[in-house]
Structure 1
Amino acid sequence: MTDLSAFIAGLPKAELHVHIEGTFEPELMYALAQRNKVAFPYDSVEALRGAYRFGNLQDFLDLYYQGMSVLVTEQDFYDLAMAYFRRAAAQAVRHAEIFFDPQGHTERGVPFQTMIDGLWRAKADAEAQFGMSISMILCFLRHLDEASALRTLNEALPWRDRFIGVGLDSSEKGHPPSKFQTVFARARGIGLKAVAHAGEEGPPEYVWEALDLLQVQRIDHGNRALEDERLTARLAREAMPLTVCPLSNLRLCVVNDMTRHPLRRMLQAGLVATINSDDPAYFGGYVNENYSAVQQALDLSRDEIVTLAANSFRAAFIDRAEQQRHLGVLTAYAVG
């Protein structure tokens, strides 16, 4: 088994599946709780860090939404996003497409503008300081009803130029993509890209629905698509990207052992698989830790790692010239 961690550390890459609220490290969360005088059930960073252990998706989501409660001001959103961009840049992320969850903030009284202004200011500063490019994708919380998603999209329209697409996240079980056909049709109608979480905890049928009913351009996760040969063949034929999150899959028991992760099978099936960190503060690693963990567990080759990084640029919502520029840098790094 070859450890390619040093190679991965400098590997130019894009990150396409990261929830900005999921990059909330305990130190920053605790500091913002203190700064904003938010009632919080943890009396120290160490106590809070101990809560970053959970057995399933719902346990994680309970803590995830609790953490959101300390985000109150524009500066809070700025600080959260800049902390992620700083880490991403240090891990050779050249392009990031971040998810944000407006309903998790507006439903507790934080104005949409407060959130979007903080994120937007961080994006501008990070692009200037780190030389990376950043786009934002507005996600709907699938455990809420479609009416709430439609209200959120309408509320976001004054800032339409600040996000490139819509997504679908939160609890997958019992909340099929079909629940959100109307809001996705509306989003596509105003020129927004469409992505959706599907096939993580939910069945392959959810992936079919995301493709056919929501008409997505990427599937977030998609692990369970491999249970359906016809679906797998379709994903390969259409070069439909999958934004795979190995450490998330392990921590949420989507896989019980990293050596059984389906990533290599995805590559062998000709799928456009990419590696991402999902909610890295909670799942034990940012994008490079995800690359290294799955590379070591599956003994992925250097060429396979380069393919995964190339896939990340091919799957990104960037124009062809920018894509080719990134792929050129990647090729030079790989042969150098």
Structure 2
Amino acid sequence: MSNLSQFIAALPKAELHLHIEGSFEPELMFNIAERNGITLPFDSVEALKKAYEFNNLQEFLDIYYQGMNVLQTEQDYYDLTMAYLQRVKTDNVRHVEIFWDPQGHLERNIAFSTQINGILKALEEGEQLLDISYRLIMSFLRHLPEESAFETLTQAEPYLDHIYGVGLDSSEVGHPPEKFARVFAACKEKGLKVTVHAGEEGPAEYVWQALDLIQVDRVDHGNRSLEDDKLVQRLVADQQVLTVCPLSNLKLQVVTDLSQHPIPNMLEAGLKATVNSDDPAYFGGYMNDNLNALQQAVGLDKAQLATLTRNAIEGSWAEAERKKLLLAELDQVIAEFT
């Protein structure tokens, strides 16, 4: 292991952009499918892994929603979430902010309570047993009408003490943030943080909408912000956090080669970029995989790696004391490696 990869391994990380359904490893998917008497359209784990090749976001989403179908019981949601937490513990991830897509499960007649109770049980155990703090983010599916998002918010009402923020994901092109301005205003009135996927496949204009119409607390992805100098200036002035996902960008053809990834340009411009895994089971890597692959592709140095980590901790929605602890750990790791 090189000195830089040792440094990456030692960094106390916060992951701010993770879809729990996207952490569904093929082996676990087959196990839960068998437990629930569901037949997957693949005859083996290997065949399913081969299907994890995509040319764009929609091709990925098609198989992503197919994988969701095996989740039926509270135990299934617990197992999925706990498997993710145990995996990222080995990457020294200390704080997670995970998205889940209730509409994708409600459409299959899985009760809201079944979903959230299983996920929360694992997150609470993970905090106690693995020392991984958390925030849960309920995400709306942008290919569905805003009315469906409002209905989901109504179902979430009894659980709002356990839901910290609300996001917007799924097919970006043709579904601008402005489509959801009213429901996000309602979320903010309820005291929820808001974040929106914007500027991944969609244009920089979607990032402007996220800032001005939705008044987001942070921006997920945001790659294409670099196409608009005024937007970059605005993001820097606001110290707006971008949750960037390198291996996801590569797998979905947002960048054709990791050596062309915009993270170095983002850091140079003063943007508060962070590195995250997005849907690690589908995109070939968890936090350390993303950081190592990016470091090797674009030549990130220790200072840049430390900045990305600091941005994530500071930009997280963790309690102030938790942030202080993780920032102190980060400073200690930096001192040990200099």
TM-score relative to the length of structure 1: 0.98
Equivalent residues of 1:26, 1:45 under 8 A apart: yes
- Cross-structure match for 2:87: 87
CA distance in 2: counterparts of 1:112 and 1:4, whole angstroms: 43
CA distance in 1: counterparts of 2:120 and 2:325, whole angstroms: 25
- Cross-structure match for 2:253: 253
**Does 1:29 pair with 2:29?**
yes
- Cross-structure match for 2:109: 109
Q: CA deviation digits over 1:226-278, x for unaligned, max 9?
A: 00000000000110000000000000000001111000000000000000000
Give the counterpart letter for 2:257 in structure 1: D
Comparing 311-320 with 279-288, greater Cα deviation is found at: 311-320
Equivalent residues of 2:133, 2:318 under 8 A apart: no
- Cross-structure match for 1:205: 205
Task: State the superposition RMSD in angstroms.
Answer: 0.9
- Cross-structure match for 1:322: 322
Cα deviation for residue 48 of structure 1 reads 1.2
Q: Percent identity?
A: 56
**Does 1:155 pair with 2:155?**
yes
Q: CA deviation digits over 1:70-122, x for unaligned, max 9?
A: 00000000000000001111111110000000001011100000000100110
Unaligned runs of 5+ in 1: none
Provide the secondary structure at the position in 2 that maps to 1:213: helix
Cα deviation for residue 321 of structure 1 reads 2.9
CA distance in 1: counterparts of 2:101 and 2:201, whole angstroms: 20
- Cross-structure match for 2:196: 196
Provide the secondary structure at the position in 1 that maps to 2:53: coil
Report 1:1-336 matches (<5 A): 4-336=4-336
Q: CA deviation digits over 1:110-144, x for unaligned, max 9?
A: 00000001001101111111111011000000000
CA distance in 2: counterparts of 1:7 and 1:192, whole angstroms: 35
CA distance in 2: counterparts of 1:60 and 1:267, whole angstroms: 28
Provide the secondary structure at the position in 1 that maps to 2:267: helix
CA distance in 1: counterparts of 2:160 and 2:95, whole angstroms: 20
Provide the secondary structure at the position in 2 that maps to 1:254: coil
CA distance in 1: counterparts of 2:199 and 2:49, whole angstroms: 29
Provide the secondary structure at the position in 1 that maps to 2:183: helix
Give the counterpart letter for 2:5 in structure 1: S
Give the counterpart letter for 2:7 in structure 1: F
CA distance in 1: counterparts of 2:111 and 2:319, whole angstroms: 32
CA distance in 2: counterparts of 1:170 and 1:128, whole angstroms: 32
Give the counterpart letter for 2:287 in structure 1: V
After superposing on structure 2, the runs of 4+ consecutive aligned residues of structure 1 that deviate more than 3 Å are: none
CA distance in 1: counterparts of 2:283 and 2:5, whole angstroms: 18
CA distance in 2: counterparts of 1:40 and 1:222, whole angstroms: 34
Give the counterpart letter for 1:288 in structure 2: N
CA distance in 2: counterparts of 1:148 and 1:196, whole angstroms: 17
Q: CA deviation digits over 1:209-232, x for unaligned, max 9?
A: 001111101100000000000000
Equivalent residues of 2:314, 2:323 under 8 A apart: yes
CA distance in 1: counterparts of 2:248 and 2:22, whole angstroms: 11
Equivalent residues of 1:3, 1:296 under 8 A apart: no
CA distance in 1: counterparts of 2:191 and 2:5, whole angstroms: 39
Comparing 315-324 with 238-247, greater Cα deviation is found at: 315-324
CA distance in 1: counterparts of 2:162 and 2:319, whole angstroms: 17
Provide the secondary structure at the position in 1 that maps to 2:161: helix
Provide the secondary structure at the position in 2 that maps to 1:268: helix
Comparing 30-39 with 69-78, greater Cα deviation is found at: 30-39
Give the counterpart letter for 2:250 in structure 1: L
Equivalent residues of 2:95, 2:318 under 8 A apart: no
Q: CA deviation digits over 1:280-332, x for unaligned, max 9?
A: 00000001100111111110110110010000011001233322221111001
Provide the secondary structure at the position in 2 that maps to 1:167: strand
Unaligned runs of 5+ in 2: none
